[in-house]
Structure 1
Amino acid sequence: MNNEENEVIDLVEILYAIRQHLLEVILATVVAAIIGFAASKFLMTPQYSSSAMMIVNTRQDVTSNVTSDQINSATKLVATYSIIIKSDTVLQQVIDNLGLGMTYSELNSRVSVQAVDDTQVMKITVNSTSPEWAQTVCDEILAVSPDIIKEAVEAGSVKVISKASLNLNPISPNIKKNTALGAMVGLVLALGIIVLQVLLDNKINTEEDVTKYLDMTVLGVIPQYDQGGKKE
């Protein structure tokens, strides 16, 4: 019972300490949010992306009716086609055609290919610090990859259904998210410091502390007065 009572009192003390330092908690939260905003706005380099979509076919002749089995087979081929698009056969030719001053590995790290909702449509995305550069490279991949895919997979083909887009809105950094994250970190740190101070404080500050920590009854309290006669 004594332990449970002490835990309740400790919680009350923590809440009281937070209330006493509420202004500092708010200030720390605001300052951390400003730091998160400033770092995202002025220190981080914006990243842009350009995307295009291609549809996968299991054969080069698509004039006749397409069966469900062919669609399922095409869906499975997306993974194979993705590997071909990200191979050095395609990307190195893109580098040579555009005269890019980078290696295959550097370009490969900026290109991603994935299926759209497990369909036979695949999405090609290029990331860069320049939206125009990303669009140009994505367009060149669309121009180079179909012939290479047809040569590698003789029974299949791909068709462009959506050309590379020019996206002027950066995909990162997320200023709102980083600002909110900074505010959360500032709040947690401020509350953590207050809680730590309460837990480490072993001083006798009030008559309640005498009863709590010394298990003694308070018989009287002597007030302290300053020189002006005001009670402290």
Structure 2
Amino acid sequence: MNELKRLEAQRDDEIEIDLGEIFHLLLNKLWVIILCFIVGGVIGFAGTKILVTPQYSASSMIYILPKTRSVTSLADIKMGSQLTSDFGILAKSRPVIEEVNKNLKLDYSYEQLASMVQATNQSDTRILRFTVTDTDPIEAKKIANELANVAAERVAYVMSSDKPKIVEEAAVPKSPSSPNTKKNASVVALVFAFAAAAIIVLRYLLNDTIQNEDDVKKYLGLHMLAAIPTEKRKSI
């Protein structure tokens, strides 16, 4: 029993020593990890700039008017908000998208143009926001504004109500909405750094050769009496 406890204590000590050695190993190879971090960041930044096409987003907003100008109860407010959500779906319907495509003389299919459009409605409001994402910032602005006009006409026709008012027209976006170059570069840099650390630790764990006299005592339980130094021969 005592022998078993002694072996377990010895095993725990060896684990602590191994963890300490791994820590010192990573500390000694810190320059390699930092170098891989920098290389990964450069690759992530350059790859994002070269391989990923920038996307620009432009937004317009319309205000959905109720059939009656006065709101008399909380139920009416909730009903108006629910209808606004329905209008968001209506704004992406085929008649609206195809009319926008026709008016702007675009060369997109219904599926392509619909995938570029996002209609959102903040809770407890009657405001619809149309966000158009495109590789061309000027075209994104034109589509967002035309979509607001066509959707307003369509909503008024379907609901037999007043035409929604344009709250905000889209402007030409000055900077891309995606990709996030800094985020991509940071992620790739961290992946490279973790990969470098993992390879260093893995090589250490798989290396079962005797490196020095401490390894002889640790793994074989023997004490060294003498060591033969190696000496390079000098050429005559």
TM-score by length of 2: 0.88
Q: Residue 218 of structure 1: CA displacement?
A: 1.4
User: Structure 2: 5+ residue runs without aligned partners?
Assistant: 1-8
Name the counterpart of 1:5.
Answer: 13
State how 1:111-126 maps to structure 2 within 5 Å: 111-126=117-132
Name the counterpart of 1:218.
Answer: 223
Matched, 1:87 2:107: no
Matched, 1:18 2:39: no
User: Structure 1: 5+ residue runs without aligned partners?
Assistant: none
Matched, 1:56 2:64: yes
Letter in 2 for 1:87: S
**Mapped partners of 1:9, 1:70: distance in 2:** 71
With 13-22 and 29-38 compared, the bigger mean Cα shift is at: 13-22
**Mapped partners of 2:174, 2:83: distance in 1:** 32
Q: Is the 8 A contact 2:77 2:124 kept in 1?
A: no
Letter in 2 for 1:192: A
Matched, 1:104 2:110: yes
With 146-155 and 121-130 compared, the bigger mean Cα shift is at: 146-155
Matched, 1:45 2:53: yes
Q: Is the 8 A contact 1:115 1:121 kept in 2?
A: yes
Name the counterpart of 2:171.
Answer: 165
CA change 1:100–1:34 in 2 (3 A) is: same
Q: Is the 8 A contact 1:56 1:75 kept in 2?
A: no
Q: 2:154 aligns with which of 142, 148, 155?
A: 148
Q: Is the 8 A contact 1:25 1:191 kept in 2?
A: yes
CA change 1:223–1:55 in 2 (3 A) is: farther
CA change 1:58–1:131 in 2 (3 A) is: same
Q: Could you list the per-position Cα deviations for residues 84-142 of structure 1 after superposition, in whole angstroms to 9, with x for gaps in the alignment?
A: 11110100000111111010000000000111255322211000001100000011111
Matched, 1:75 2:81: yes
Q: 1:134 aligns with which of 124, 140, 162?
A: 140
Q: Is the 8 A contact 2:61 2:166 kept in 1?
A: yes
Name the counterpart of 1:28.
Answer: 36
Please report the RMSD computed on the Cα atoms of aligned residues, expressed in angstroms: 2.0
**Mapped partners of 1:156, 1:6: distance in 2:** 80
**Mapped partners of 1:144, 1:20: distance in 2:** 65
Q: Is the 8 A contact 1:58 1:157 kept in 2?
A: no
Q: Is the 8 A contact 1:91 1:141 kept in 2?
A: yes
Q: Is the 8 A contact 2:59 2:170 kept in 1?
A: yes
**Mapped partners of 2:123, 2:223: distance in 1:** 72
> Match of 1:166, SS?
coil
**Mapped partners of 2:209, 2:151: distance in 1:** 74
